[in-house]
């Protein structure tokens, strides 16, 4: 699927270079590995030649191919397997992209980030779109270029249409254009703030209503027992127990009503959900690297760091935070 138009002058990447004083967020549509490698390696080498710190965060097999093409220059590039570092889309902005940019403050950075690949589930996808939209908010005005590849052979048409809505510039082969579909990132992210689907009808859902008397400790104990019963390894039991405890602590500290924890197993994942009356309006909550004494945002950043996936729904009358942990690591 092509959503770009060839430039009349035949130029490529001029919009990226013209944005060198601010933030650039182009999408790269590729139809085969030759095109993928040609574009990504050229992007990387141009950054290295300009003295820019470069990071490549893409799925492992693509990362191996890029490193092979770079040869000895691969040692100059920071790398991350996005299927690990970005398994939860909610952690990519803070733990991957901002962490790298903050490490090189005062210098322009260049990043390839591939957060959406053919193996992404329909459960993960809304969080991926929110991530791609909110990059434009989190990095507004920063000296960074983040190139996001999209595989046009394997990704659904809706994914490519969403890519055009989340990226101001689109590149495909020798064509480059300003995206006519680019949307207000806050409105687009809010559009994916959708009600979460109910558990499968056959799921055995266990429920705990908690307040300050039960406390976060009681919530952690409740989750711990069910995570062990589900067969999670000890380190993953500890991670999900801590994550749900952080959300419960926010409920106790920042709301006036009891919260509800629901736990069930679905699709080989332990799912833990916290419902409360809290109202969250910051679209980047939990995605920023927290400052000292950052309140609820600090705890939610930890939650994103610990879980395989975090989905949330925020409304006028309350919030739902759903945390997923695969039974097998």
According to CATH, where is 3.30.565.10 located in the chain? 206-326
Question: Confidence band (pLDDT; 50, 70, 90) for 328?
Answer: confident
Query: pLDDT of 225-235, one tens digit each?
Result: 999 999 999 99
Q: Does domain 14-191 have CATH number 3.40.50.300?
A: yes
Task: Give the closest residue to 227 by CA, choosing from 273, 264, 200, 202.
Answer: 264
Task: Give the closest residue to 242 by CA, choosing from 165, 313, 300, 282.
Answer: 300
According to CATH, where is 3.40.50.300 located in the chain? 14-191
The whole-angstrom separation of Cα 190 and Cα 258 is 26
Q: State residue 3's pLDDT score.
A: 40
Query: pLDDT of 26-83, one tens digit each?
Result: 999 999 999 999 999 999 999 999 999 999 999 999 999 999 999 999 999 999 999 9
Q: State residue 153's pLDDT score.
A: 97
Least confident piece of the model among 4-8, 30-34, 275-279, 304-308: 4-8
Instruction: Please give the C-alpha separations between residue 114 and each of 100, 117, 129, 328, in angstroms, as whole numbers.
Output: 15, 7, 12, 24
Mean pLDDT score, 309-328: 95
Secondary structure (DSSP) of 243-299 = HHHHHHHHHHHH-SS-EEEEEEEETTEEEEEEEES-----TTTTTSPPPTT-THHHH
Answer yes or no: is pLDDT of 294 > 90. Answer: no
Question: Confidence band (pLDDT; 50, 70, 90) for 298?
Answer: confident
Q: Is pLDDT larger for residue 195 or for residue 323?
A: 323
Answer yes or no: is pLDDT of 10 > 80. Answer: no
Q: Is pLDDT larger for residue 207 or for residue 174?
A: 207
User: At residue 24, what are phi and psi to the nearest 5 degrees?
Assistant: -125, 135
Q: What top-level class would CATH report for the domain 206-326?
A: alpha beta
Q: State residue 296's pLDDT score.
A: 53
Least confident piece of the model among 20-29, 162-171, 178-187, 251-260: 20-29
**DSSP 8-state symbol, 199:** P
Q: State residue 4's pLDDT score.
A: 37
Instruction: Please give the C-alpha separations between residue 138 and each of 59, 98, 295, in angstroms, as whole numbers.
Output: 23, 9, 19
Query: pLDDT of 127-140, one tens digit each?
Result: 999 999 999 999 99
Answer yes or no: is pLDDT of 17 > 80. Answer: no
How remote is the C-alpha of 119 from its chain's centroid?
A: 15
Task: Tell me the three state secondary structure of residue 29.
Answer: strand
Answer yes or no: is pLDDT of 21 > 90. Answer: no
Query: pLDDT of 141-150, one tens digit each?
Result: 999 999 999 9
Least confident piece of the model among 146-155, 292-301, 302-311: 292-301
Mean pLDDT score, 238-243: 98
Mean pLDDT score, 94-122: 96
Question: Confidence band (pLDDT; 50, 70, 90) for 9?
Answer: very low
Joined together, the tokens standing for residue 161 give 């249409």
Q: State residue 295's pLDDT score.
A: 56
- Whole-number average pLDDT of the chain: 92
């Amino acid at each position: 699927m092509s959503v770009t138009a060839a430039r009349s002058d035949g130029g490529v990447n001029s919009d990226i270079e013209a944005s060198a004083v601010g933030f650039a967020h182009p999408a790269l549509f590729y139809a085969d590995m030759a095109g993928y490698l040609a574009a990504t390696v050229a992007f990387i080498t141009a950054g290295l030649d300009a003295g820019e710190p470069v990071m490549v965060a893409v799925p492992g097999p693509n990362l191996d191919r890029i490193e092979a093409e770079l040869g000895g220059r691969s040692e100059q590039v920071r790398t991350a397997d996005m299927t690990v570092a970005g398994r939860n889309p909610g952690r990519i902005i803070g733990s991957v992209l901002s962490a790298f940019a903050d490490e090189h403050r005062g210098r322009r950075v260049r990043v390839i980030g591939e957060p959406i690949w053919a193996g992404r589930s329909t459960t993960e996808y809304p969080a991926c779109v929110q991530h791609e939209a909110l990059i434009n908010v989190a990095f507004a005005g920063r000296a960074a270029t983040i190139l996001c590849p999209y595989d046009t052979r394997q990704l659904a048409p809706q994914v490519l249409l969403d890519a055009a809505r989340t990226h101001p510039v689109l590149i495909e082969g020798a064509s480059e254009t300003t995206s006519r579909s680019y949307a207000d990132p806050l409105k687009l992210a809010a559009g994916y703030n959708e009600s979460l689907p109910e558990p499968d009808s056959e799921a055995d859902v266990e429920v705990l209503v908690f307040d300050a008397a039960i406390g976060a400790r009681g919530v952690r104990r409740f989750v711990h027992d069910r995570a062990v019963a589900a067969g999670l390894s000890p380190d993953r039991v500890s991670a999900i127990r801590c994550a749900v405890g952080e959300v419960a602590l926010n409920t106790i500290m920042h709301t006036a009503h009891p919260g509800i924890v629901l736990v069930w197993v679905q699709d080989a994942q332990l799912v833990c959900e916290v419902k409360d009356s809290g109202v969250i309006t910051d679209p980047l909550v939990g995605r920023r690297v927290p400052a000292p004494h950052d309140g609820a945002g600090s705890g939610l950043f930890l939650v994103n760091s610990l879980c395989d996936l975090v989905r949330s729904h925020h409304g006028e009358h309350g919030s739902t935070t759903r945390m997923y942990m695969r039974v097998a690591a």
